[in-house]
Structure 1
């Protein structure tokens, strides 16, 4: 795998200080919109989500021995379950936070099992015919979000479409025509350019920046009394227990996300440093986030897309992005300023980012020379794509499978049970 990938900076390589800071800001911009959206939906403090995102990424780097360029941000998978738990507890976050705390511990438990049984099963369960469509589903499964944010909807505001197109074209032309360092920061330049266009079109509201303080402590929630921060209590009722089965789904997504990154970087991350380490990093990060009152963490496809486009896989860049996120959680006006970036600008950038992820799925199928003359391969890929992109949902008791998780499980099962055809 390693030989087929050309990276400008490999995992263990570092850019110069000035270049590295700009590259890190590029990752911060990529994750910011989604990371703050989750707490906004759930009515949680944005500053805590940012702090947990940065700290969680650092925890992940320690767990994986700084060998995987992953950025962790707020997870969307638990929004519905957490919102329901908060609603049933009349606004009390205790059940939701306790549930997410134990989800992190479930990750650690699964990681312990993986360490014992090894990772040889990964090649059996995830051959190219399953990995390729899985990566395509991960990328295109996010397409609707990108298109909606970009304003390509019925009765949408034409100004959003113009800002999105401008952002997209700037990123595309910088990436294809740029020279030297400019070529590897296309999204940073695109966001700045798109922001200027949005500002000229009257899409930017500076009121949040004016109202925000320069410095403020994140509004932590802790499971014990304190004179500074708010408190929630550990709660083990049914509202909390209903959150736990979702961990099965997010573990499947975890494997899929790392499979995408492995393809982009040309390194078998699920084997080295190993799925057990990546799961521990993800799980401990999620548990720590829940402990301080933040949402669950997860690996971010937006940042994986940035790596795919720029071919900069440096872990030091990701680490510095995490430190910047932590700093932003204390800087009210800076956080507010970034939050003024219109969704159309982020949508225009996301069209490219998510498309890059999906294209890597096609690359897997092409480079592995998957034979679609074999009917079994056609059936596996077709079913995965339709279920993954068609909005299929399967509920089994408290567990709900959809999107990437359902698509991956179906692909794995079909690959195991369908008879292999004789080579022509």
Structure 2
């Protein structure tokens, strides 16, 4: 590993600090504001809570882990389903219960270690579940890209689809043909290019920008104040199983980040601290109407390229995110982004989610000549993508991704031939 320009505990000079922190903020900006746009939440709240969650995470991990927490794409499908059945408030309550799972897992890891978690959530279970999340959203992305609402229906629009194509191609070009910071911000650059093209072909309504204030407090969603809610078994089974994916994602990020900065984050400050930080960040975010959080690969990539590992730079990016969330005009501009542009970038993003599940299977050398692996992955994929459902009553059912994840975990535990290999904790 090449020598760090700024190590984890190093403080940069003021001018350098500002520029490096802004760089991190823009790296996560596009993805963080995209999630609320797709699920009907406030981009301003998403930006505000990403900053707050990151600061909480840094404090809980004792200023040892330079990770940024942004909006989690894994929750798009569960939030969409929960919102349709019980309103956006139900989705927020569900996310709070997910954070409770994080806390419980963190407590158990603190007391017993983490090997049990690796046994419960091996790649053969998590990989196919991630594939389900991406492919289940594919129809949504395509419809957003090529249709426009007409009354209670929608119709095909080549003009709008062209904006989606420009957005998608720009993001692909940035990701493939550039090897510097630009390659880490394909979402943001793609949205900017798509927005510019949309302006040129006249499909943007600027009215909301003119009406917006320069300074505006983000729109909070407080339980019991802005919405009423009811906790149901169905709500819990829609949201909570996603922790299977997000905790696995968290562990992967900690291992990768540890290798980049030459630290063992599984042992110090400990996986229990980082999972707890992630969970509390998600809880605070959901409590005020923001999307659930996760550590961001984009920012890990920035660390790898710049060799600036300073946790204070990440802290500065969090502060900038909080400040930017109060820029009313900027948030209004975000609201005017055409659905086609969001659809274009979503085609790439949802595909990447599915592909990351495939990559997990490949990276872990999953042998599909082994009937056990073939059965587990096949059942997860068909149940999840096919939308299978177990309905216990009119108000309680388990379906789709949640059912697929639960069945996958059970099959992995009960089928003979479980892999006994030692789990790499990042120390090798």
TM above 0.5, one fold?
Answer: yes
Residue of structure 2 in register with 1:90 after alignment: none
Structure 1 stretches of 5 or more lacking a match?
88-92, 224-230
Q: Offset at 1:214?
A: 0.6
For the 8 Å contact 2:97–2:240, the answer to whether it is kept is no
How far the C-alpha of 1:413 sits from its partner, in A, is: 1.7
The question of 1:196 aligning with 2:191 is answered no
- 1:51 and 2:65 aligned: no
Answering whether residue 137 of structure 2 is matched by residue 145 of structure 1, we say: no
- Residue 252 (str. 1) matches residue 252 (str. 2): no
- Aligned residues: CA RMSD: 4.3
Tell me how far 1:213 sits from its aligned partner: 0.5
Cα distance change, pair 290–272 in 1 and its aligned pair in 2 (3 A) = same
Report deviation, 1:263. Answer: 7.8
CA contact (8 A) 1:51 1:326 kept: yes
Q: What is aligned with 1:405?
A: 402
**Which of 345, 357, 360 is the equivalent residue of 1:361?**
357
CA deviation vs aligned residue, 1:335-367 (integer Å, no higher than 9, x gap): 111222222222222322333333232223223
Give the alignment's TM-score, normalised by structure 1: 0.74
Say whether 1:209 aligns with 2:195.
no
Q: Give the Cα–Cα distance (whole angstroms) in 2 for the partners of residues 252 and 294 of structure 1.
A: 23
Equivalence for 2:112: 117
Distance 1:98 1:408, change over 3 A: closer
- The number of residues matched between the two structures is 395
Distance 1:279 1:248 in 2: 15
Note the C-alpha offset of 1:418.
2.0
Q: Deviation per CA, 1:214-245, whole angstroms, max 9, x where unpaired?
A: 1123355668xxxxxxx83998xx82466566
Which residue is equivalent to 2:31? 30
Q: How does 1:200-349 map to 2 (within 5 A)?
A: 200-220=200-220, 232=225, 239-240=230-231, 248-258=240-250, 261=253, 276-289=272-285, 291=287, 293-295=288-290, 297-299=292-294, 303-304=296-297, 319-349=315-345
3-state DSSP of counterpart to 1:299: strand
CA distance in 2, matches of 1:348, 1:78: 21
Residues 100, 295 of structure 1: 8 Å contact kept: no
Contact preservation (8 Å) 1:372, 1:378: yes
Which residue does 1:156 correspond to in 2?
156
2:174 equivalent in structure 1: 174
Task: Summarize the Cα distance change of 1:218–1:395 in structure 2 as closer, same or farther, 3 Å threshold.
Answer: same
Shift of 1:207: 0.9
* CA contact 2:26–2:185 (8 Å) conserved in 1: no
| 1:100–1:290 Cα contact (<8 Å) kept | yes
Cα displacement (A) at 1:331: 1.4
Alpha-carbon distance in structure 2 between the residues aligned to 1:62 and 1:399: 39
Assess if the C-alpha contact under 8 Å between 1:60 and 1:281 holds in 2.
yes
Q: Is the 8 A contact 1:69 1:318 kept in 2?
A: yes
Q: Residues 103 and 257 (structure 1 numbering): CA distance in 2 closer, same or farther, change over 3 Å?
A: closer
- Other-structure match for 1:416: 413
Range with bigger deviation, 310-319 or 57-66: 310-319
The C-alpha deviation readout for 1:301-327, integer Å capped at 9, x for no partner, is: xx5478679976967776555434322
Q: Distance in 2 between matches of 1:240 and 1:170?
A: 42
Tell me the distance in 1 between the aligned counterparts of 2:7 and 2:351: 23
Pairwise mapping of residues 75-94 of structure 1 onto structure 2 (< 5 A)? 76=76, 77=78
Residues 144-166 of structure 1 show CA distances to partners (whole Å, capped at 9, x for unaligned) of: 33223222798321122111111
Match 2:59 to one of 54, 59, 62: 62
Whether the 8 Å contact between 1:282 and 1:297 is mirrored in structure 2 is: no
Shift of the 266–275 alpha-carbon distance from structure 1 to 2, 3 Å rule, reads closer
Question: Please, which moves more after superposition, 49-58 or 338-347?
Answer: 49-58
Distance in 2 between the 1:391 and 1:327 partners? Answer: 41
Q: Confirm or deny: 8 A CA contact 2:126 2:245 kept in the other structure.
A: no
